[in-house]
Structure 1
Amino acid sequence: MKIGLLFPGQGSQFIGMGKDFYENSNKAKEMFEEASDAIKVDFKKLMFEENEDINKTEFTQPAILLFSAIAYELFKENIDFEYSYSLGHSLGEFSALYSAGALNLSEAIKLVHNRGKLMNEAFKDKVGSMMVVLGLDDEVVEEVCKNSNLQVWPANYNSDGQIVIAGIKEDLEKLEPLLKEKGAKRVMLLNMSVASHCPLLESATKPLRELLEEYLKDEFLDVVSNVTAKKYNTKKEALELLPIQLTKPVLYKQSIKNYEDEVEKFVEFGGKVLMGINRKITKKKTIPIVDMKSLEKAISEVK
């Protein structure tokens, strides 16, 4: 079966993620150890025990990537499937690069850990956040942001009627009544201190490019870019796309629509968030893998 590989981004983390894999798979244990060695962080403690670090972006990003990578490796070692492309949402694009062979696990963990640090550094003197808006057309949200004279931008095009805005937290709060006046069904500020995929992260793009130059392989399997909603498979392309991915909106629904005809099903590794979004975009089924039971189910559905 030809499948599209999907990888979720920040916001999909939870305490206990990966624990079932760890307790039932030697491969998972090895990957936990490799990730822990890579950045000198105890990933078992980070992902299994209540703590504040799990929601800090420099730790959230490698934790989610590790969870996704384990789900992918356990799936891959148990079944033969025809790879079509990998697609990640925001941070998930780096998990997708791992699955495509652009990075090994240690490199990917180091990369996203440092990416998180760079994003935090960009917000050391300001408070950012993100806000989900339901029930408005993209064009309406874009127009409200543009005409507001506030530091706010469309950041994630998730599905028709669901868009996420990024910007200065205070400005997002001011934008909320303007969106409701336009008929938004719901406007909800997210619990985040960094505004992803907007110009406020410009300072992080150059140092991220330097890290990518160090870690990326020259060629890899097809990955769909968040920036263009098109496939790429070379280091040269990645060096242009991944730094500006920090400052440009995630074209998720456009990516799914562009390539849904190439696959029979989607498999989401390490989450269920994209499965929920996909129900509003495509008729193609999305199968999530979050533990051993769902892994077995996914394997049986793809055979």
Structure 2
Amino acid sequence: MEKIAVLFPGQGSQHIGMGKELADQRDDVKKIFELADKALDESFSELIFSGEEEELKLTANTQPALLTVSAAIWQALKNEGISASYAAGHSLGEYSAHVAAGTLSFTEAVQVVRKRGEYMEEAVPSGQGTMAAVLGLEREALEEVTRQATEEAGIVEAANFNCPGQIVISGSAPGVEKAMELAKKAGARRTMQLQVSGPFHSSLMKPAAEKMNPVLTPMEIGEAEMEVIGNVTAQPVAKENVVSLLEQQITSPVLWEDTINYLLEQGVDTFIEAGPGKVLSGLVKKVSRRAVTLPVYDKETLDKAVAVLKEGK
């Protein structure tokens, strides 16, 4: 193995019970959940382990919950002697990447993403904005679709460039609906509305980005132990740009396909996904079938990843 990157998932990967098995069996994992409870001043781990799905799905809960689980899993991997050269996270997962790299402290990050979730929920009244996945359409064709739909029905923009042939759009409900219709006419294989509470990664999130500025600005930025690749640029994030890029990220598209291509160009051949599920591992495989992907979300997958990584050393 040449180089390892660790990836962290974003909203949509959450589920009740995530991380519980590891927390029950490992003190290092349990400690991260206890830190989250203390930082948020509530029994937050109870919500994650045995709460109501609807409550966990609230953006203000989903974001700190995913950060907590991802940070706990990475801590377990680190304590097993695993390290990486690069970290990247999808949307919210970028905060997990900064925690893993040491640029942000876990306690500060979990408090910040709670605010991020609240502000993103408040930015657009429920039902007025949405997101949809468009499959089988190239970027240029989709750009024309979103331009036309915005003119005819309301704001809609590209939000996530996930992998070849999978782009997520975001914007006003009428704009997204129109874009889905136009995308099919333009040759899209399929369009699918997503179950989300708002038009994330679009210009409609500007009120959230503005509110986040005074929350992000005072954050203490540490020296990175590994390079963090940003969503906005798909390039390494310099220490002095951490805050501005996390603010821009709220209204900018997630350049995930570009991020994976950048990591492949740097010689990365192994991707650990630290967090619930294996969505990002699937996206990596769509960019490069040759890449080794190791999703880690419970004891079995942790043991398997550690065995594979130690064997490759």
After the TM superposition, which residues 125-274 of structure 1 pair with which residues of structure 2 at under 5 Å, given as runs?
127-148=128-149, 149=151, 150-220=154-224, 221-234=226-239, 236-261=240-265, 262-270=267-275, 271-274=277-280
Cα distance, 1:218 vs structure 2: 4.5
| Distance of 1:286 and 1:238 partners within structure 2 | 27
Kept in 1: contact 2:206–2:250 (CA 8 A): yes
How far 1:264 sits from its partner (Å)? 2.8
One-letter identity of the residue aligned with 1:260: L
CA distance in 2, matches of 1:99, 1:186: 36
Identity %: 40
Equivalent position SS for 1:215 = coil
Which residue, out of 256, 261, 275, partners 2:281? 275
Residue 55 of structure 1 corresponds to 57
Q: Which residue of 1 aligns with 2:292?
A: 285
For each residue in 1:140-164, what CA deviation from the matched residue of structure 2 results, as whole angstroms up to 9, or x when unmatched?
A: 1111001121210000000110000
Once the two structures are TM-superposed, the CA of residue 50 in structure 1 deviates from its matched residue by 4.5
CA contact (8 A) 1:225 1:241 kept: yes
2:41 maps to 1:40: yes
Write the deviation string for residues 72-125 of structure 1: whole angstroms up to 9, x where unpaired.
0000001243x3111101001000000010112111110110111111121137
Letter in 1 for 2:39: A
Match of 1:298 in 2: 305
Deviations 1:254-278 (A, max 9, x none): 0110121432311000131100111
Q: Secondary structure at the match of 2:195?
A: coil
Cα offset, 1:45, TM superposition: 2.4
Q: CA deviation at 1:219?
A: 3.1
Per the alignment, residue 108 of structure 2 pairs with: 107
Q: Counterpart of 2:93 in structure 1: which amino acid?
A: G
- Distance in 2, matches of 1:233 and 1:298, equals 29
Task: Tell me how far apart the structure 2 counterparts of residues 161 and 264 of structure 1 sit (CA, whole Å).
Answer: 22
Amino acid of the residue matched to residue 58 of structure 2? K
Inter-CA distance 41–187: structure 2 relative to 1 (3 Å threshold): farther
> 5+ residue gaps in structure 2?
none
Note the aligned Cα RMSD (angstroms).
1.5
- Partner AA of 1:128 in structure 2: G
Unpaired runs of at least 5, structure 1: none
Contact 1:219 1:233 survives alignment (8 Å): no
Report how far residue 240 of structure 1 moved.
Answer: 2.0
CA contact (8 A) 2:230 2:236 kept: yes
Is residue 127–residue 193 contact of structure 1 (8 Å, CA) maintained in 2? Answer: no
Give the SS at the match of 2:159.
strand
Partners of 1:138 and 1:160 within 8 A in 2: no
8 Å contact kept, 1:134–1:185: yes
Conserved? CA contact 1:68–1:269, under 8 Å: yes
Are the equivalent residues in 2 in contact too, given 1:222–1:232 (CA < 8 A)? yes
Q: Is the 8 A contact 2:135 2:191 kept in 1?
A: yes
2:41, 2:194 → 1: CA distance? 29
Cα distance between partner residues in 1 of 2:193 and 2:220: 35
- Rounded to whole Å, the distance in 2 between the matches of 1:199 and 1:56 is 21
* TM-score scaled by length of structure 2: 0.92
The 10-residue stretch of structure 1 (34-43 or 16-25) with the greater mean CA deviation from structure 2: 34-43
1:128–1:192 Cα contact (<8 Å) kept = no
Paired position in structure 2 for 1:74: 76
CA separation of 1:216 and 1:124: change in aligned 2, threshold 3 A: farther
Instruction: Tell me if the contact between 1:205 and 1:244 (Cα under 8 Å) persists in the aligned partners.
Output: yes
